[in-house]
Chains A and B, each alone.
Chain A
Amino acid sequence: METKRTPLTDWHKAAGAKLVPFAGWVMPLSYTSQVAEHVRTRTSASLFDVSHMGQICIQGPQADVFCDWLLPNTVSGLEIGSQASYHPLCREDGTIVDDLLIYPISTDHYLLCVNAVNVDKDMQHILDQAKIFRFEGSIENKSDQFAQIALQGPKSQAILAQAYPEWAELRRFRFSCADSGWLVSRTGYTGEDGYEFYIPNQDAVSVWETLLETAESLGVECAPAGLGARDTLRLEAGYPLYGHELDDEHTAIQSGLGLFCKTEHKTFLGSDVLAAQKQTSPQTRLVAFKSESKRAPRQGQMLTDEHGHEVGQVVSGAFGPTVGVGIGTGFLSIQREQVWAVSPQGRLSLTVCELPFYTAFKRKKKE
């Protein structure tokens, strides 16, 4: 398979980025120190080239009704042209095809932002469901037409207010479209305030450089960050990543996405199974855990109880630069408060905890 390049690949190369293959793309892993890129995103701002992300357009009369049935979270209640929402994309049995953001551009035009690794699988799934639903509009993979840039960090708004003031006042999860073909949203995958730009490929370098130059002129520390930092940022923030917390085997409830499955309010693909699982709480569930030192659990390691009996497996694990300890997630088939990750270097004791490990946002305390 040919490795795809983003409109910014040459820019990354010139900047000395370490480039790696990722989901069929060649993407920057890091430019300097991955930990420094993580920390800067938490304290100031970073730019991420996320042009590998996929975009699928669902268009036609009844696109709103189809999307509301296809997806578990709120679709019909979203403000058209300005409010996005997050969803797992589920099968009838509740298992997860992908996770995505949906942007209702108009009642007959919905844009889905999906994972690069899943674009083809998503297309197939949505086309199959369209047949069942008798949705007669168009479903198109427009991934190659969009570049995507994320500006993330507490200083994002200050940069945007100078560079592109028309978007700076968007509220969280709100978006706005422009005649230029741009869509900008107050969203991100780092647990920090920030914006994502969905723009035609030819505009990518200019947006990227404008944001960097604006930050510099303001004296705000802002530089590119790679996929490595993006992964530890999202893990600290408790955001799932497909292929880790989300997969074809576990349901949205098992993966901890019950909050995004509005089984009480609507009927949708998979709602029967997901509603039942909300009641009975499945045996195998995703949990989060942390170590007491900087030593981290690692993806693929077996998890055991105190007697050494297998109770699960690590799906994500890393040192969390902001929380300062090793953090991770895994599926446990038997629930425990303390588990051990097994590796050739010896057992690592882990305490099961609530997600997120870190938040910059005010949140309601769960009782």
Chain B
Amino acid sequence: MGKHVHESCLYTKSHEWLLQHESDTYVMGISDHAQDSLGDITYLGLPEVGKAFKAGQVIGFVESVKAVSDIYAPVDLEVLEVNSTLEQAPETCNHDPFGKGWIAKIKVTQSEQLSELFDAKGYEAYLSEEQ
């Protein structure tokens, strides 16, 4: 079953996506593949606004009916805003992972790290390899 991969996003091996908002600000979330493997999402542990993280650090977590999974910083970043509607409606991440289910707006502080992420094609290839 092919899972949707948004054309314009960058992706991590741990299934987060990044989409450029303007210059160095990006929106991030978890991919359609991630929400599908997690099953019903029941709680989002959102990162703290204003906090800075290094690439690979845990910035939050997702609880689903099946498991608790960490969300990792795709690159060095600072959290500008979080999607607080997910507190009451975490299932939005299941229904619209690339849209209303966005998790945080971030400032990328080491933009050269972006080149290490997958583009849509690369992520698709990675997903088919993983199966």
Additional A-B contact list (15), CB under 8 Å, known A33-B94, A346-B45: A30-B39, A33-B40, A293-B43, A293-B87, A294-B43, A294-B87, A294-B90, A296-B42, A298-B68, A318-B42, A319-B42, A319-B43, A319-B63, A326-B43, A345-B45
The answer to whether A345 and B61 touch across the interface, beta carbons within 8 angstroms, is yes
The answer to whether A295 and B43 touch across the interface, beta carbons within 8 angstroms, is yes
For B70, list chain A residues within 8 Å (CB). 344-345
Separation of A295 and B65 alpha carbons in the complex (Å) = 11
Q: Which of B41-69 contact A (CB under 8 A)?
A: 42-43, 45, 61, 63, 65-66, 68
Name the contact of B40 in the complex, choosing from A35, A293, A345 (C-beta under 8 A).
A35
Interface string of A138-157 (1 = CB under 8 A from B): 00000000000000000000
Which chain B residues have a beta carbon within 8 Å of chain A's beta carbons? 39-40, 42-43, 45, 61, 63, 65-66, 68, 70, 87, 90-91, 94
For B45, list chain A residues within 8 Å (CB). 295, 345-346
The answer to whether B65 and A345 touch across the interface, beta carbons within 8 angstroms, is no
Least Cβ–Cβ distance between A42 and chain B, in angstroms: 15
For A294, list chain B residues within 8 Å (CB). 42-43, 63, 87, 90
Least Cβ–Cβ distance between A32 and chain B, in angstroms: 10
Name the contact of B68 in the complex, choosing from A33, A293, A343 (C-beta under 8 A).
A343
Q: A232: CB under 8 A from chain B? A: yes
Q: Which of A30, A34, A36, A294 has the most CB atoms of chain B within a 10 A radius of its CB?
A: A294
Q: A228: CB under 8 A from chain B? A: yes
Smallest CB-CB separation from A326: which chain B residue? B43
Least Cβ–Cβ distance between B131 and chain A, in angstroms: 15
How many residue-residue contacts, CB under 8 A, span A and B? Answer: 44
The answer to whether A35 and B42 touch across the interface, beta carbons within 8 angstroms, is yes
| A318-B65, A319-B65 given; A35·B43 CB < 8 A | no
Interface size class on chain A is 10 to 19
Smallest CB-CB separation from A36: which chain B residue? B40
Least Cβ–Cβ distance between B21 and chain A, in angstroms: 27
Interface string of A18-41 (1 = CB under 8 A from B): 000000000000100111100000
Separation of A36 and B61 alpha carbons in the complex (Å) = 22
Name the contact of A345 in the complex, choosing from B66, B68, B87 (C-beta under 8 A).
B68
For A346, list chain B residues within 8 Å (CB). 45
Separation of A68 and B107 alpha carbons in the complex (Å) = 70
Smallest CB-CB separation from A231: which chain B residue? B65
The answer to whether B42 and A228 touch across the interface, beta carbons within 8 angstroms, is no
Instruction: Please list the 6 inter-chain residue pairs (A to B) with the smallest Cβ-Cβ separation, ordered nearest first.
Output: A319-B42, A35-B40, A294-B43, A295-B43, A34-B65, A345-B61
Separation of A343 and B65 alpha carbons in the complex (Å) = 17
Name the contact of A34 in the complex, choosing from B39, B63, B68, B90 (C-beta under 8 A).
B39
The answer to whether A296 and B63 touch across the interface, beta carbons within 8 angstroms, is yes
Least Cβ–Cβ distance between A325 and chain B, in angstroms: 10
The answer to whether B40 and A295 touch across the interface, beta carbons within 8 angstroms, is no
Separation of A35 and B63 alpha carbons in the complex (Å) = 13
Separation of A199 and B123 alpha carbons in the complex (Å) = 49
Smallest CB-CB separation from A291: which chain B residue? B43
Q: Which of B42, B45, B63, B70 has the most CB atoms of chain A within a 10 A radius of its CB?
A: B42
Interface string of A325-340 (1 = CB under 8 A from B): 0100000000000000
Q: Which of A36, A345, A346 has the most CB atoms of chain B within a 10 A radius of its CB?
A: A345
Q: Which of A1-58 contact B (CB under 8 A)?
A: 30, 33-36
The answer to whether A295 and B39 touch across the interface, beta carbons within 8 angstroms, is no
Separation of A343 and B45 alpha carbons in the complex (Å) = 13
The answer to whether B91 and A35 touch across the interface, beta carbons within 8 angstroms, is yes
Interface string of A279-317 (1 = CB under 8 A from B): 000000000000001111010000000000000000000
Q: Which of A33, A36, A319 has the most CB atoms of chain B within a 10 A radius of its CB?
A: A319
Separation of A30 and B61 alpha carbons in the complex (Å) = 23
What are 27 of the A-B contact pairs (CB < 8 Å)?
Answer: A30-B39, A33-B39, A33-B40, A33-B94, A34-B39, A34-B40, A34-B65, A35-B40, A35-B42, A35-B65, A36-B40, A228-B65, A293-B43, A293-B87, A294-B43, A294-B87, A294-B90, A295-B43, A296-B63, A319-B42, A319-B63, A326-B43, A343-B68, A345-B45, A345-B61, A345-B68, A346-B45
Least Cβ–Cβ distance between B33 and chain A, in angstroms: 15
Smallest CB-CB separation from B40: which chain A residue? A35
For B43, list chain A residues within 8 Å (CB). 293-296, 319, 326
